Structure 1
Amino acid sequence: MTETVPTETVPAAQPTDWASARALVHTAGLAAVPPPVPVPLAEADGHTLGAPLVTLTALPPFPTSSVDGWAVRGAGPWRPVGRVLAGGTPAPMTEDGTAVEIATGAMVPAGAAAVIRVEETGRTGDGLVTGVPREHREWRVPGEEAAGGEELLPAGTPVTPGVIGLAASCGYDQLPVRRGPGAALLIFGDELLTRGAPGGGRVRDALGPQVPGWLRRLGAAGTIPVVGPVEDTLDAHVTALHTALDGGAELVCTTGGTMHGPVDHLHPALAEVGARYLVNTVAVRPGFPMLLAAVPGPDGRDRFVAGLPGNPQSAVIALVSLVAPLLAGLHGRPLPALPTVTLAAPLPGRGNQTHLALVRVDAEGLAHPLGHAGSAMLRGLAQATGFAVIAPGTVGSPGDRVPLVPLPALTTEVLDGAAKLAADGAGGRP
């Protein structure tokens, strides 16, 4: 194998529109979704429902008292004839003028006409129960929350503790889930240091330490091995890709080498491993030389190589632009919808390309552009909520409502506020 590839041997790529690239890679992820596997409820958190969550019985399955009190039949006062606690099965009430003491969550006896709260009852000298039933019933009727066989959540729903609790209430012991895909990270670039301060013409690798965290937040599973810096030779690049793919990674991210310089070996290495491009450059700034390629796997499903640009901010833009929708697809989830925010200051456009501009969103849903936002800089990124999307052929003006690509580290009050403002018209702002 040769160690350099003349630029003219690599066909020029036509950049893909940014929005189209997101949709395309999400579709590719959906096409490669693995089959669901059953896991115990305690292990399901963070995965994705692989099938609809359907009730096994009505919810609740029997009439359930909402209060501590007395179940009564007929006109009062009532003669106590028994007691029912949660978990018990009471005998039917067959006589008017009788009452059964009942606990919250207990099954309401058949034949009961009402349940009276204990604090709203009294006792006569001879022990009869007195009180006036409220106008509305004080118990939950069967099927009040859901009918038997009703779909509660669709396949593709992220499994949260709340979902697990709901499944348990339905009687599930296991859930069919799609696990997050395994990932690996290859660092390219002989100029990179992995420890200590930069100097002497070499710079510190800032992607190896941060990309695994982004990948986990986006839905990759387990430990994410970081390999590199990989030697700047074609042989070393091909070996690293083969090793990662053969080691079980369903997604391999690489950093640097996405252009066609004299030591950029990613493109010929992709050809060597039989990859086909899904996206080869995106019409977005920063980050346009990002790419995503598919490699057929031994089980017939595609595995993926995401080429992240070497500049740190551009690499993160590639993660939120291509890797986030791909991983959503691999989980069987919908393409992530983008919230909208209101610009607090002007943002320039990038001609016929999409501009992803670093912003910090405040509690009012206002997006403030950040400084130190060059593609090689991380200072602005460390303070950012996400990227404001300035569409091709436009500029951003104060008061404009624009989409926001959130950084996956943040599930925030800020974003909740932004979503609320998006829903209610941002308090009258345009």
Structure 2
Amino acid sequence: MMISVEEAFKRIVETAKPLTTEKLPLENASGRVLAAPLTARRTQPGADMSAMDGYAVNSASLTGNPITLKLVGESAAGSPFGGTCGAGEAVRIFTGGIVPEGANQVVVQEDCTANGDMVTTTIGPEIGRHIRLAGIDFARNQIVLDQGTYISPKSIGLAASAGYDHLMVHRAPKIAILATGDELVPPGKKDFAPHETVNSTAPQISALLTDAGANVRILEQAGDDLKALKAAVKKAAGADILITIGGASVGDKDMMQEALSAEGMALDFWKVAMRPGKPLIFGTMSQTKVLGLPGNPVSAFVCALLFARPLVDQMMGRPAPMPTGVPLPLATDLAENGPRQHYMRARLVGEPGSRHLDPAIAQDSSLVSVLAQCDGLIIREPNAPAVKAGTLVPFLPF
């Protein structure tokens, strides 16, 4: 039975749960999702600090007319003044220096004239001027990052400032990729025979999912032999996700589903009403989710983009909505669509701010050159009517 793309997404992605947690050094946590709220271990800033180089004073000493104050000390970042700033006194202060007791205003150095241990200014009183108050950034015991926060360089800086050098995050999924087919040869082979096909899909899918944060390993490819396929599947033991490439259809050489079932996979479905990508296997093998992609490279890429990458997001605790695209206008007319949801490769054309979608003339699912030249996929609903140039259609960039 063939199911819709929406139903396939629900079964593959929406039923998945975030993986267990692990504690990572701060510098290795980018791209992960925080598994628990992060509470500040300190207050920042920890005291009232100067925002400028100048002189800390008590604003009651200022009149707006020329007044000369006595310099009684200095406060620099990391080296505070230990005394009190009284009436008629000033403390030389630098950016980041703690405002001394008794002072409540900083007069910038450009508004002062220093002469020995005396300083003169005409600035008037303004309590709090050029002072960063203690805790203005965050306070001790305040939640600074919520559970579920996506960790990025900006949040790493906040976590470090809050006193953390490790973070508790959801574990990244371990993915095994198995490419199959007697015709496959590695990209670096010295010479290529006409009957051979380069295994381009495995490194492509690996890059897509590695960029999403997964830990990916490519298994040694297997030929179209049931015994070899079963042995190759065994090597995926311990993976959270097994992605197979090829052998998902119904030809005499398509034995992937049989091999997976022999190794204990409980099949959920294997046909989706989409193109490219109709023969898509999904099931569970012990604790491993199995996603069997078609052998055609474009079909495999589209399926990985729609299902595998969101599955990685879901297992890492990140939001994983179904990829529905953004509306953009067509640069050319499109004919009516057939009964399956169609993901058409397209280029963005025109100037920024007035982009249009130019569908590739050739949509054959074997054409990796066309895929590489395009910017994303136009999404056409089943039985969608013909549309004219300028019509807004959903576009999924990649």
TM (norm. structure 1) is 0.81
Which of 61, 65, 68 lines up with 2:53 in the alignment?
A: 68
Which letter maps to 2:341?
A: T
Structure 2 residue aligned with 1:9: none
- Residues 146-166 of structure 1, C-alpha deviation per residue, up to 9 Å, x if partnerless? 344333333333322222211
Which of 140, 151, 158 lines up with 1:159 in the alignment?
A: 151
In structure 2, the CA distance between the partners of 1:48 and 1:323, relative to structure 1 (3 Å rule), is same
Asked if the contact 2:70/2:118 (under 8 Å) is kept, the reply is: yes
Distance 1:401 1:57 in 2: 51
- Residues 108-139 of structure 1, C-alpha deviation per residue, up to 9 Å, x if partnerless? 22332211222222236872231426867312
| Aligned-pair CA distance for 1:335 | 0.9
Asked if the contact 2:268/2:283 (under 8 Å) is kept, the reply is: yes
Structure 1 residue aligned with 2:375: 385
Structure 2 residue aligned with 1:19: 6
Matched, 1:82 2:76: no
Distance 1:338 1:69 in 2: 56
Structure 2 residue aligned with 1:107: 98
Distance 2:122 2:273 in 1: 73
Which letter maps to 2:205?
A: V
Q: Which stretches in structure 1 are left out of the alignment for 5+ residues?
A: 1-12, 297-301, 408-430
Counterparts of 1:110-149 in structure 2 under 5 Å?
110-123=101-114, 127-132=118-123, 137-149=129-141
TM-align CA RMSD: 2.6
Which of 198, 203, 207 lines up with 1:204 in the alignment?
A: 198
Which of 366, 379, 389 lines up with 2:356 in the alignment?
A: 366
Distance 1:356 1:373 in 2: 9
| Aligned-pair CA distance for 1:388 | 2.3
- Residues 290-335 of structure 1, C-alpha deviation per residue, up to 9 Å, x if partnerless? 2322222xxxxx3222111111100000111110111001111111
In structure 2, the CA distance between the partners of 1:111 and 1:127, relative to structure 1 (3 Å rule), is closer
Which of 250, 263, 267 lines up with 1:273 in the alignment?
A: 263
In structure 2, the CA distance between the partners of 1:117 and 1:257, relative to structure 1 (3 Å rule), is same
Structure 1 residue aligned with 2:228: 236
Question: For 1:280, what is the secondary structure of its paired residue?
Answer: strand
| Aligned-pair CA distance for 1:197 | 5.8
| Aligned-pair CA distance for 1:261 | 1.7
Asked if the contact 1:292/1:322 (under 8 Å) is kept, the reply is: no
Structure 2 residue aligned with 1:353: 340
Asked if the contact 1:208/1:226 (under 8 Å) is kept, the reply is: no
Distance 2:193 2:44 in 1: 65
Question: For 1:380, what is the secondary structure of its paired residue?
Answer: helix
Distance 1:343 1:134 in 2: 59
Asked if the contact 1:64/1:105 (under 8 Å) is kept, the reply is: yes
Question: For 1:277, what is the secondary structure of its paired residue?
Answer: strand
Moved more, 370-379 or 389-398: 389-398
Asked if the contact 1:342/1:398 (under 8 Å) is kept, the reply is: no
Question: For 1:323, what is the secondary structure of its paired residue?
Answer: helix
Distance 2:338 2:363 in 1: 18
Asked if the contact 1:372/1:378 (under 8 Å) is kept, the reply is: no
Asked if the contact 1:343/1:368 (under 8 Å) is kept, the reply is: no
Counterparts of 1:410-429 in structure 2 under 5 Å?
none
Question: For 1:241, what is the secondary structure of its paired residue?
Answer: helix
| Aligned-pair CA distance for 1:56 | 2.6
- Residues 175-201 of structure 1, C-alpha deviation per residue, up to 9 Å, x if partnerless? 112232222211111122333565443
Structure 2 residue aligned with 1:226: 219
Distance 2:159 2:259 in 1: 46
Question: For 1:306, what is the secondary structure of its paired residue?
Answer: strand
Distance 1:187 1:234 in 2: 14
Structure 2 residue aligned with 1:262: 252
Distance 1:160 1:289 in 2: 37
- Residues 371-404 of structure 1, C-alpha deviation per residue, up to 9 Å, x if partnerless? 4331111112112222122233435543344443
Distance 2:92 2:61 in 1: 16
Sequence identity percentage: 31
Asked if the contact 2:271/2:278 (under 8 Å) is kept, the reply is: yes
Distance 2:393 2:142 in 1: 38
Structure 2 residue aligned with 1:304: 289
Distance 1:368 1:133 in 2: 65
Which of 288, 299, 309 lines up with 1:314 in the alignment?
A: 299
Distance 1:270 1:378 in 2: 28
Question: For 2:305, what is the secondary structure of its paired residue?
Answer: helix
Distance 2:141 2:42 in 1: 7
Structure 2 residue aligned with 1:344: 330
Matched, 1:95 2:83: no
Question: For 1:100, what is the secondary structure of its paired residue?
Answer: strand
Matched, 1:180 2:168: no
Distance 1:375 1:131 in 2: 77
Asked if the contact 2:325/2:379 (under 8 Å) is kept, the reply is: no
In structure 2, the CA distance between the partners of 1:56 and 1:241, relative to structure 1 (3 Å rule), is same
Structure 2 residue aligned with 1:57: 42
Matched, 1:170 2:155: no
Question: For 2:363, what is the secondary structure of its paired residue?
Answer: coil
Moved more, 397-406 or 353-362: 397-406
- Equivalenced residue count is 383
Distance 1:275 1:208 in 2: 21
Asked if the contact 1:313/1:376 (under 8 Å) is kept, the reply is: yes
In structure 2, the CA distance between the partners of 1:339 and 1:163, relative to structure 1 (3 Å rule), is farther
Which letter maps to 1:231?
A: G
Question: For 1:320, what is the secondary structure of its paired residue?
Answer: helix
Distance 2:376 2:174 in 1: 25
Question: For 1:258, what is the secondary structure of its paired residue?
Answer: coil
Counterparts of 1:323-338 in structure 2 under 5 Å?
323-336=308-321
Q: Which stretches in structure 2 are left out of the alignment for 5+ residues?
A: none
